[in-house]
Structure 1
Amino acid sequence: MKALVYTGTNSSELRDVEAPVAAGGQSIVDLSFCGICGSDMHAWHGHDERRIPPLVLGHEAVGTALTGPLAGRRVAVNPLMTCNDCPACDSGNHHLCGTRELIGMRYPGAFAEKVMVPDANLTVLADHMSFSEAALAEPAAVAVRAVEIAAGTGATADSRIVILGGGAIGVLVAQVLAARSFARPRIAETNALRRGMLENIGIAGSYDPREETPEDGSVDLVIDCVGMGATRAAASAMARPGGVIVHVGLLDNEPGLDTRRLTLQEIGFFGAYCYRHQDFATALDLLTGGKVTGEGWTEIRPLDDGAQAFIDIDQGRAPPKIILATG
């Protein structure tokens, strides 16, 4: 079968690879679409020791089950694989399982014509839902998790909210906030193409953080969808006393977080990683109901153009989300 293979730092190519074979409790999915995630870019840049080339990346996938209990059905893939038998899994926090894995990390991913996943990781799609919209389910689940954490820390509908990063997760966080009736946030984004898209789709105000920034100590809730030293420093400064920072992005682990200010001003700092099963289901519900959509900020390209898509994202010539048509 055809697959886009990560071959080394800043390098990928289309190859013929062996098709997956399912064992007990596993299904083969004939893939239709798979989105390029920021973590795929992180690996492509050579910054993820867990993703060792040559490897088929990709985990934001949808398609049709070929085998297993849902054979013949249109499905969304939850790429998070866990043991289902530990305190974290038993409490519903599968994303905190000590043996968690994602397809496209140490297992072959979904930038391919087919992928193998556990039967339990498939969800049947509503008949009216397009594959291209359903391909946003996984990143939307990340956004749902981030907003759930924010709401649990006391953020309210009228909170002043700033999102750092206008990539896919930032856009989806803004849409999930809107679906939950939060006030319209502002999004910090350095890429002019993305700022234009954000203004056009109307989900948030945008600004270039190199030219302006919110007043120090003025923001109730900061959601960092970049996760680099500079954004942690910006979040530390703009959060108000008693405010909250939700940290989603994982770009680097460089210094920047002002722990002294966080302590003196009792600013809460919460990590948000991946999602619970319920978050994935909520994301699909939001997409099915049209409350979250890819309209105006996504682009579909053929799998054959996948190598160039990575280059275009790297060089800032791409919208917040490129989805590869794999089938």
Structure 2
Amino acid sequence: MTMKALVYTGTQEVEYRDENKPVAGPNQALIEVAATAICGSDMHAYHGLDERRVPPLILGHEVAGKLITGAPHLVGQQVVINPLITCGKCSPCLSGRANLCSDREIIGMRLEGAYAQYLVIDETNLLIPPAALEPWVACLTEPTATALHAVALVERVGYRPLSEQRCLIIGGGAIGLLTALILAAKGCCNIDLAETNALRRNTIEEQAVARVFDPSSEAVPNANGYDVVFDCVGAGVTRAMASEHVVAGGILSHVGLQNSHEGLDIRRITLQEITLLGNYCYTQADMQAALDMLAGDRLGDLKWVQLRPLSEGAQAFSDLHHGRAAAAKIVLQPDHLL
């Protein structure tokens, strides 16, 4: 049997076409996909910059859907997918930090992803959202968990509560905006956000959770620096910006993964005892907490999300590539659900 899928076929190329419908193996679940969001890592692959994602490949890992087979007590229910597959036996897994598992995999990287009508995943990777939660909202659980994980690491090492911190977020994509929304939900009221795309700046300003500015033409609003800087881009220029504007004794949270080269001022980080935090994905606890935040309407009106048919996925990727999308997040849905 076949299904419709959006397939990454080469640099800046994705194709909507027929693919073989996946078959669930032992202890796996077959999911009918209801919504899959486009992640920055999918764009990284689209640009031909991720050697781990080799075309042809179905990308996509931010997903919600309905259980068709597997986990008999859940058949027919709406589910959210934890796309991170881990061994469950190593020290990080057993200590609750499965995101650091040395055998970790994530769908849409080497394994087929969720820009498709159907998806297969281990039964242990299922979360159950409230029945009333729309799938396009539920699929935001994964990026929300990524931002929540970054904020949680800062909370763990910070000297003062977040509500007292001056925070700078670099990058106004979904992770950057979600970080701002989570900080605001935790009582932080001094948040600045740097974003070069004017369309996205307008979208973020409508959320009224941060002072938004263009770092390519404007100085940072707080000339005295920031207690916490979240680099949600992860490029040389943004690492340099983060290194410059974090205060002595502050925290630099490196979340983005655009490249791994220049930018960090290691000498300053050392001499001024700046804490550098790496962030990778999330734990199962982060996923559940993120789902709870979304279900509890704690992250605003979500008007920064745009829904598009899966068949128009190539245009969505192109719009993101050319900076034509005002939405911080585009969610693709199988055509028959729209």
Is 1:300 aligned to residue 307 of structure 2? yes
| Contact kept? 1:57, 1:108, Cα under 8 Å | yes
Q: State the TM-score, normalized to the length of structure 2.
A: 0.95
**Letter in structure 1 aligned against 2:129:** L
Match of 1:253 among 252, 260, 264: 260
Does 66-75 or 34-43 show the bigger shift?
66-75
TM-fit CA distance, 1:248: 0.3
d(CA) in 1 for partners of 2:105 and 2:185? Answer: 30
| Mapped partners of 1:292, 1:201: distance in 2 | 10
Residue in structure 1 matched with residue 218 of structure 2 by the alignment? 212
C-alpha offsets along residues 161-216 of structure 1, whole Å, 9 cap, x if unaligned? 00000000001111111221122411000000011111112121100001223356
> Would you say 1:160 and 2:166 are equivalent positions?
yes
SS in 2 for 1:75: strand
Answering whether residue 138 of structure 2 is matched by residue 130 of structure 1, we say: no
Change (3 A) 1:164 1:202: same
Residue 67 of structure 2 is matched in structure 1 by: 65
**More deviation, 308-317/292-301:** 292-301
2:332 maps to 324
Alignment of 1:142-221 (within 5 A): 142-154=146-158, 155-156=160-161, 157-214=163-220, 218-221=225-228
Query: What secondary structure is seen at the aligned counterpart in 1 of 2:132?
Result: coil
Q: 1:141 to 1:294 in 2, by over 3 A?
A: farther
- Judge which range, 273-282 or 152-161, deviates more: 152-161
- Is it true that 1:309 corresponds to 2:316 in the alignment? yes
Equivalent residues of 1:133, 1:294 under 8 A apart? no
Moved over 3 A (4+): none
Q: Give the corresponding residue for 1:227.
A: 234
Rounded to whole Å, the distance in 1 between the matches of 2:33 and 2:190 is 35
How far apart, in 2, do the equivalents of 1:117 and 1:133 lie? 20
1:269 aligns with 2:276: yes
**Once structures 1 and 2 are overlaid, which stretch shifts more, 125-134 or 107-116?**
125-134
Distance 2:133 2:20 in 1: 30
Shift of 1:54: 0.1
Is the 8 Å Cα contact of residues 86 and 104 (structure 2) preserved in structure 1? yes
Equivalent position to 1:9, from 5, 8, 11 = 11
Residue 254 of structure 1 deviates from its aligned partner by 2.2
Distance 2:140 2:210 in 1: 19
Instruction: Please give the TM-score of this superposition, normalised by the length of structure 1.
Output: 0.98
**1:293–1:104 distance in 2 versus 1, CA, 3 Å:** farther
Aligned residue in 2 for 1:82:
86
Looking at structure 2, the residues matched to 85 and 24 of structure 1 have their Cα atoms a distance apart, in angstroms, of 19
Q: Structure 2, unaligned stretches of length 5 or more?
A: none
SS at match of 1:284: helix
Identity %: 47
Unaligned runs of 5+ in 1: none
Superposition pairs of residues 30-109 of structure 1, within 5 angstroms = 30-69=32-71, 70-109=74-113
* Deviation (angstroms), 1:15: 1.1
Q: Spell out, residue by residue over 1:234-289, the C-alpha distance to the aligned partner (whole angstroms, 9 max, x if none).
A: 01100101011000000011201000111111111100110000000000000000
Deviations 1:23-65 (A, max 9, x none): 1110000001000000000011111111100000000000100
Q: 1:40 to 1:272 in 2, by over 3 A?
A: same
Tell me how far apart the structure 2 counterparts of residues 253 and 293 of structure 1 sit (CA, whole Å): 33
Q: 1:313 to 1:284 in 2, by over 3 A?
A: same
Return the offset for 1:293.
4.6
Counterpart of 2:207, as a letter, is: I
Using the TM superposition, give the Cα deviation of residue 294 of structure 1 relative to its aligned residue in structure 2, in angstroms: 5.8
> Post-superposition shift, 1:149?
0.7
Count of aligned pairs: 327
Deviates more, 1:283-292 or 1:126-135: 126-135
Q: Structure 2 counterpart of 1:220, which letter?
A: D
SS at match of 1:17: strand
Secondary structure of 1:146's counterpart equals helix
> What SS does the aligned partner of 2:204 have?
helix
Q: Distance in 1 between matches of 2:301 and 2:274?
A: 33
Contact 1:217 1:241 in 2 (8 A): no
Secondary structure of 2:146's aligned partner = helix
Whether the 8 Å CA contact 1:242–1:267 is kept in 2: the answer is yes
Displacement of 1:144 after TM fit? 0.6
Contact kept? 1:229, 1:256, Cα under 8 Å: yes
Partners of 1:176 and 1:33 in 2: how far apart?
Answer: 22
The 1-side partners of 2:108 and 2:269 are apart by 36
